[in-house]
Amino acid sequence: MRNLRGTILLIVAVALAVPAAFGQQVILDNPVRAGELILFPDLDDDNVYYYVSDKPRLAEDENGRPQFSFLRYVENVASGANEAERDEGEGGGILHALVALSVTDDQLREAQRALRRVKSKARIQGPVLFKSGQFGLVTSFANPEGGLSTQVVGLGNAPLLDGEKAAVSMQLTNLGSKILWQSFQTPTPDISFTFEMELDGYRSPKRALLEANFDQIYEHKSFGVGLASKYLAAEIRGAFDDLQRSGAIKLTQVGDDEDMEALISTAYNRIAEMMFQPMQGGGTPNLSSLAGAAGGQQSLLDRATQMLRQNREDTRTSNREVRARNSERRERNERRRAAARESDVAMATAAEERATQLEQQAEQAEARARRARERAQELSAGGEAPEEWTTLNNQLIEGAESSAATYRRLAEEARAEADEIRTGDADEDSDNPGPGGGEEDLEEEESEPTFAIMATFQMKRVRQRGTFTIDLNKYTADSITLRFDENIGDLRRYMNDQQHFRQVNLDDPLYRQREIVAMVDGLNAADFGQYINFATVAMRKRHQSGEETYDEVRIDRKNFNAEGNAFKLLYGWKGDDDRRRWQTYDYKVNWSFFGGSTVEGDQWVSRESGAINLAPPYQRREVMLEGDPQVLQEERVRAIDVKIFYKLGGKERFSQKTIRTSQEPASQRIEFMLPADEYEYEYEINWTLRGNVNLTSGHQKSTSAVLFVDELPY
C-alpha cells in the first residue's frame, strides 16, 4: 500500500506541476540569489519568483538506499597457438545510476526569508520547469603519457521536475573499471554528475538588431557537406563566433549595454533554432551516436572530451594572463601604498608638531590667567583694586582660560589625527589613499569548466535562405543553459553489497542471463503527460534448443519517472552453445498517442546490443511566433490566435496559442508533433482587431522555424 500511495502521490504531483509550470513566464536576465537558491522573477508579477532545482544527488529507493549499481565482469579467453600465455581475461564494467534534482524544505524556507528581507511582499511560487536537460558522468582515465585525463563517459536526459529521477549508464573498458573500482574506495570517488539544463523565458528589451545571412552561414566549414551530421551545442556556438567575426551574423547595438554577452546568446539561439533540431527530439544522442561515428569520425563522447580539454586549456591560458595583469597591478598598488605611507609619515609628523605648538600656546594662556589671578588677589588684600579694573581682569582671566581649553582640544585632535594616519584608519574609507589615486581592482579568474556543452543537434533538411532580421527591443522569448555539478558521493559502506557493487566471471554459461535495457530517447515525464499514452516493447529470443523466450514491457507516464527511463527485458541460457548467436534477439515497438492514435511496429528487428534506444516515430517540433508590438498597436490588434495543424497516427490534430497583445509579449513558442523525418506543417493565423474585426491568413504551409504574426493579410 505504501508503494501504491507513493506512486499515486508522484503521479498527482507531476500532473499538477506540469500545467502550472507551462504557465510560467520568467525573466531570464534578472536572476536573484536567495540563500542557497537561484530565483527567477515572473514576467507579469514582480512579486512572484520561481526557484531553480540545482542540487543533484543520487536517487534513493523507498528504503533510503542509493539507486546505483556497478558491475565488473571478466570472461576467460585462451591464447592462440602462436601467442604468449595470457594471464588476464577480457572484461570491463557497467555503471548504472539514477539521479534526482531537488531542494530541501529548509533551503526553500531560508530562500523565502532572504527574499522577503529585500522585498517584503515577494513570494516563491514554486520550481522552474526546465525545457530540456542533459547530464553526464565525468571521470578520469589513464592517458598515453602516463597521467590521468578527464573524460566524458556517459550521457542521459536530465530530470526536469523537482524530485524527478533520470537514469544514465556507461560501459567501461577493463582498465577503466579497475581505476573506477579503486576510486570508489575513497570518500570522494573520481566521478561526478554534470548537468546542463535549458530554461525557457524572456529577455528584457534591448536596443539591438540581429541580422543573419543564411547563405553565408551554411557555407561555413563546420556545416559543409561531408562533415559531421551531429553537432554539439558548443561546436555550433564556436562556428557562430567565426561567422560573427566575418559579418555573416551581425548584432547592431544602439547605446551602451553591459549585457552584450546575453545579446549574443539570444542571437545565437534564434539562428540555431532555425537551422537545427535537437537529436531524438530532446538533445540527447542515442548510444550508437555516443560510442562511434561513421566515416572514421570521432564519437560524440570523444568530441565532448576533446572540447572539455580545450575549454580547460583556454581557461588556464586566460587565467595565466589574468594573473600576470594582476601581478602588475599589485606592484603598482604597492608603489602607491609606499608613497602613501611616506606621505602619511610626513602628515603624522606635521600633526604632532602642530599638537606640540598648540599645547605650548595652551600653557602660555594658562600662565596668563594664573598671573592675572595672583595680581587680583594681591590688590584685593591691600584694598587697592578699583571696580573697573577688577571687571577687566576677570574678563582677561576668562579669555585666557577659554583660549587654553581651545588649544588643548585642538592639540588632542592633532594627536588623534597623527595616530589615525600611523595606523592607517584615516585611509580605510578614502577613495584616494595617497598620491597617484586609488588602488586598481584585481580581475577575477574564471573557474575551469567541468563539462563541454553536450546538448546535441542535427541540421534540418530544409535550409533557410536570404537574410533574417529581428528587432530585440521587446520582451523576446529565449532560453539559457544553467550548469551545475555534484560528486557522486561516498559509497564505501556499500562496497560489499552485491546489489550495488558486484564482480562476476562470465565463463559458466548455465547461470548466464541477459538483461536488455530499453530507454526512450528524447522524451521525459512531461512529454508523456502531454503527448504519449504508452509504448510497449516486445522481445523474443529464439534459442538453439528450439525454445523461445518472450518478454514485454509497457512504458507509460506512471512508470517512466519511477523506473528512471530504464526498462528491462530478460532472457537466459537454454542450450545456446554458440555464444555469438546467444547475443542476438528480436524486438518490436508499438506507440500509443493520446486521442487513440497508434503506430505499430510492422516487423521484428534483430539486434545484438545490450540496450534498445526507443526513438518515438513522432518528435516534438517548435515554432517561434514573432511580432513587433508597435506594429500590432498601430494595426489595432487586440488578440492573435495561431493554430498549427499536424497528423498524429493518421489523425488530424492542432496546437493552439492565443496572444493577447495588451497582456502578453508578441514573442511566443508553440509546440507540436511531426514524424521524425518531416518538417512541413500547416498553420492558420487569426487576428482580432478593435471593433471585433477579424482577419485570417487561411491555411498555409511552411517549414520555417519562425512565423511573423505582425504581417496582416492586407
DSSP string, 71-114: EEEEE--PPPTTSPPPSS-EEEEEEEEEEEE---HHHHHHHHHH
| 200/234: higher pLDDT | 200
Dihedral over Cα of 606, 607, 612, 614: its sign: negative
Res 294 pLDDT > 50: no
User: Residue 564: pLDDT above 60?
Assistant: yes
The arithmetic mean of pLDDT across residues 236-260, rounded, is 76
Q: How confident is the model at residue 458 (pLDDT cuts 50, 70, 90)?
A: confident
Range of lowest pLDDT (244-248, 332-336, 388-392, 494-498): 388-392
- pLDDT number for residue 686: 94
Least confidently predicted of 283-287, 336-340, 422-426, 533-537: 283-287
Tell me, yes or no, whether 373 lies in a domain.
yes
CB atoms within 10 A of CB 485: 16
> What pLDDT score does 289 carry?
45
Q: Are 569 and 641 found together in one domain?
A: no
Are 625 and 603 in the same domain? no
> For the segment 66-90, what is each residue's pLDDT rounded down to a tens digit?
888 888 888 777 665 566 666 677 7
- The answer, yes or no, to whether residue 691 has pLDDT greater than 70, is yes
Residue from 59, 57, 17, 55 nearest 37 by CA: 55
- At residue 520, does pLDDT exceed 90? no
Q: Is residue 469 part of a domain?
A: no
Residue 20 pLDDT more than 50? no
Beta bridge partners of 200: 479
What is the length of the chain? 714
Residue 66: DSSP 8-state: B
Residue 580 lies in a domain: yes
Same domain, 547 and 626: no
CA pair distance 111, 51, nearest whole angstrom: 9
**Structure confidence at residue 292 (pLDDT):** 45
Same domain? 624 vs 674:
yes
What amino acid occupies position 611?
A
Question: What pLDDT score was predicted for residue 549?
Answer: 93
Q: Are residue 607 and residue 637 in the same domain, yes or no?
A: no
Same domain, 610 and 522: yes
- State residue 153's pLDDT score: 58
What gap in Å lies between CA 164 and CA 129, rounded to an integer?
11
Tell whether 607 and 664 lie within a shared domain: no
Pairwise pLDDT comparison (643 vs 247), residue with the higher score: 643
Residue 467 C-alpha cell reads as 537574410
Q: Where are the alpha helices (DSSP H) in 476-578?
A: 525-530, 557-562
If one compares 490 and 647, the residue with the highest pLDDT of the two is: 490
What is the tens place of the pLDDT at every residue in 140-151? Answer: 654 544 444 555
Residue 609 sits in the same domain as residue 634: no
Least reliable range by pLDDT among 115-124, 376-385, 697-706? 376-385
pLDDT at 599: 82
Beta strands in 573-615 (DSSP E): 585-593, 597-600, 605-607, 611-614
Cell 609606499 sits on residue = 338
Per-residue pLDDT band at 595 (split at 50, 70, 90): low
In angstroms, the CA 130 to CA 557 distance is 18
Separation CA 564–CA 560 (nearest Å): 6
pLDDT-based confidence at residue 290 (cuts at 50, 70, 90): very low
The pLDDT of 159-186, averaged and rounded, is 73
**Same domain, yes or no: 589 and 667:** no
Task: Give the model's pLDDT for residue 639.
Answer: 92
Query: Which of 660 and 205 is assigned the larger pLDDT?
Result: 660
| % of the chain residues with pLDDT over 70 | 75
Print the domain residue range for 410. Answer: 343-428
Indicate whether 539 belongs to any domain.
yes
Mean pLDDT of 113-126: 89
| Residues 586 and 663 occupy one common structural domain | no
Supply 355's cell numbers. 599638537
The model's pTM is 0.52
Q: What is the average pLDDT value for the chain, to the nearest integer?
A: 76
* pLDDT (0 to 100) of residue 286: 43
Three-class SS state of 699: coil
**Residue at which a domain ends, from 614, 643, 667:** 614
In this prediction, residue 17 has a pLDDT band, given cuts at 50, 70 and 90, of very low
Band (pLDDT 50/70/90 cuts) for residue 12 is very low
What count of other Cβ atoms lies within 10 Å of the Cβ of residue 336?
A: 19
In this predicted structure, the answer to whether residue 474 has a pLDDT above a threshold of 80 is no
Residue 646 has pLDDT above 70, yes or no: yes
Domain assignment present for residue 514? The answer is yes
Within a domain: residue 557? yes
Among candidate residues 586, 614, 642, the one where a domain is terminated:
614
**Which residue, chain included where needed, has cell 542450450?**
575
The pLDDT confidence band at residue 304, using thresholds 50, 70 and 90, is low
Whether residues 514 and 609 fall in one domain: yes
- What is the pLDDT at residue 271? 81
Pairing of strands 48-51, 467-471: unpaired
- For residue 357, is it within any domain? yes
Give the three-state DSSP class for 445. coil
Residue that wins the pLDDT comparison between 553 and 506 = 553
Q: What is the CATH number of the domain that holds 586?
A: 2.60.40
Determine the pLDDT at residue 64.
85
- Residue range 341-387, pLDDT digits in tens: 778 788 888 888 888 888 888 888 888 888 878 877 777 776 666 77
Give the span between the Cα atoms of 77 and 106, in whole angstroms.
Answer: 55
β-strand pairing of 48-51 with 37-41: antiparallel
What's the pLDDT band for 158 if we cut at 50, 70, 90? low
Q: How far apart are CA 49 and CA 568, in angstroms?
A: 40
Q: Does 629 score more than 70 pLDDT?
A: yes
- Which of 41-50, 164-173, 297-306, 461-470 comes out lowest in average pLDDT? 297-306
Tell me if 205 sits within 8 A of 475, measured CB to CB: yes
Q: Report the alpha-carbon distance of residue 385 to residue 236 in Å, rounded.
A: 106
- In order of 72, 168, 417, the CA distances from 59 in angstroms are 22, 12, 63
SS (H, E, C) 630-697: HHHHHCCEEEEEEEEEEEECCEEEEEEEEEECCCCCCCEEEEEEEECCCCCEEEEEEEEECCCEEEEC
**Mean pLDDT within 483-495:** 84
For the cut 50, the answer to whether the pLDDT of residue 7 exceeds it is no
Looking at the fold, whether 659 and 597 belong to one and the same domain comes out as no
pLDDT of residue 259: 64
Among 428, 443, 478, identify where a domain stops: 428
Taking the CA atoms of 245, 251, 257 and 263 in sequence, report the sign of the dihedral they define: negative
Model confidence pLDDT, tens digit, residues 391-441 = 777 788 888 788 888 888 888 888 888 888 777 644 444 444 444 456 788
pLDDT for 191? 79
CA distances from 708 to 29, 134, 432, 472 (A): 24, 31, 55, 14
- pLDDT given for residue 63 in this prediction: 85
Q: How many CA atoms within 13 Å lie on the side-chain side of 80?
A: 2
The tally of domains found in the chain comes to: 3
The count of other CB atoms within 10 Å of the CB of residue 382 is 8
- How far is it, in rounded angstroms, from Cα 387 to Cα 551? 129
Residue 624 falls inside a structural domain? yes
Name the helix (H) or strand (E) containing 556: strand 548-556
Quick check: 487 and 188 in contact, CB under 8 A? yes
